[in-house]
Structure 1
């Protein structure tokens, strides 16, 4: 949940919304977990690193 930094009223409104909308909050949590897994899991990070290494090796080979 986003609220305005330093604005206690904004924080209170968001917390009240969260208490009153547990189902929506649960859905948000599930979406965030899926997005994190899809973008930042060990598998994804490993694939990205391997791609970077492949590109670096190809660049090195083309310069020789």
Structure 2
């Protein structure tokens, strides 16, 4: 599960992973969409709001 992987990584590794989602860095738009769906799911569960907010802020950077 992607969220479990992200929780195990340090801050710089998380930033690297999120930057790697973009097509310019070898990722794909569909992967970016999947990430946003994951964030949406976290927010809808009303758990880990701070975590989702932090990941989203890095993603939008």
The two structures share one fold, judged by TM-score above 0.5 = no
TM-score of the superposed pair, with normalisation by structure 2: 0.35
Q: Name the one with the larger helix percent.
A: 1
Q: Which has the higher contact order (CA 8 A, sep 6+)?
A: 2
Query: Of the two, which has the highest radius of gyration?
Result: 1
TM-score of the superposed pair, with normalisation by structure 1: 0.34
